[in-house]
Amino acid sequence: MKDFAQPELMDRLKSVDPANIRASAVVAAPVLVDKTDAVVTADVKTDKDTVRVIVLKQSDGTWRVRSYDQAGT
């Protein structure tokens, strides 16, 4: 997972108990909310909730998740 998330997010994820994650699958393609050359915001529908994911372009050209939250919050 570290290849897909920024280090700051990885630090936060260390405290997440997987047993508390309600969703078990992504059920639809992401829906683009906003896009620039360096930032993409998308809503990802799961079998329980819709999660808003913010992804940042890195200096090496790859993309990593900066943050996530329940969509609409």
Going residue by residue through the chain, which has 73 residues, state the pLDDT in tens, using 9 for 90 and above. 668 999 999 999 999 998 998 899 999 999 999 999 999 999 999 999 999 999 999 999 999 999 999 876 5
69 Cβ contact partners less than 8 Å away, ≥ 6 residues apart: 51, 52
Cα distances from 34 to residues 10, 31, 55, in angstroms, run 23, 9, 11
Alpha helices, H only, 1-73: 7-13
Residue ranges of domains in the chain: 7-70
H or E stretch including 63?
Answer: strand 63-70
Provide the pLDDT for residue 72: 66
Tell me what percent of the chain is helix, strand and coil, each rounded to the nearest 5. 15, 40, 45
CATH topology for 7-70 is Nuclear Transport Factor 2; Chain: A, (3.10.450)
> Model-level pTM?
0.84
- So what's the pLDDT on residue 3? 85
